[in-house]
């Protein structure tokens, strides 16, 4: 699966949950400062990502380190590498 497909799935969560314009969703965007999410919005974000990827994320400590949208893309690239079954699932949904 290409990084583009992964980014598309992650961006869809932002569009569906926060009605953000896809055009502004670029890797350098800071989650809190630029997109104006706060800690409670992160709960909605995690719920959306869990639903999209079908994996539990609440105990993922690396999620606490994310600062930019690019950090989320990188984290999920790593998660997909660790869970090869996700690749098939996401490609099918594509």
Partner 1 sequence: MRTFLVYLSVSICILLYLLVISVPYCITLMLPGRRCAHYMRLLTLYMGKAVIYIALRPFVRVQYSDLADGATAPGIYICNHRAATDAFLMAAFGIEAIQIVNGWPMKLPFFGFNARKCGYLDATQTPLESYPTIARDLIAQGVSIIAFPEGTRSGSTQMHPFHSGIFKLAMELKLPLYPCCIAGNEAFPDRSFKFHKTSRILVHRLPPVLPEDYANMPTAYVLKKHLHTLIAQETEKMDRELHP
CA distance 67 to 69: 7
Least CB distance to partner 1 at residue 36 (A): 4
CA distance 32 to 68: 8
Least CB distance to partner 1 at residue 18 (A): 5
Instruction: Specify burial of residue 23 (Cβ count, 10 A radius: 0-12, 13-18, 19+).
Output: exposed
Contact indicator for 64, 25 with CB cutoff of 8 Å: no
Least CB distance to partner 1 at residue 56 (A): 20
Least CB distance to partner 1 at residue 3 (A): 26
State the residues that interact with partner 1 by CB under 8 A: 16-19, 36-38, 40-41, 44
Nearer to partner 1 by Cβ, of 4 and 21: the residue is: 21
Please name which of 56, 69, 90, 84 lies closest in space to residue 14, comparing C-alpha atoms. Answer: 69
Nearer to partner 1 by Cβ, of 48 and 53: the residue is: 48
């Amino acid at each position: 699966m290409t990084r583009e497909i992964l980014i598309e799935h992650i961006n869809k969560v932002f569009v569906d949950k926060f009605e953000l314009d896809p055009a502004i969703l670029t890797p350098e965007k800071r989650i809190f400062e630029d997109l104006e999410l706060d800690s409670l919005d992160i709960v909605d974000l995690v719920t959306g990502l869990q639903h999209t990827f079908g994996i539990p994320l609440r105990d993922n400590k690396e999620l606490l380190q994310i600062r930019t949208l690019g950090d989320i893309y990188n984290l999920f690239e790593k998660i997909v590498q660790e869970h090869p079954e996700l690749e098939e699932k996401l490609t099918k949904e594509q």
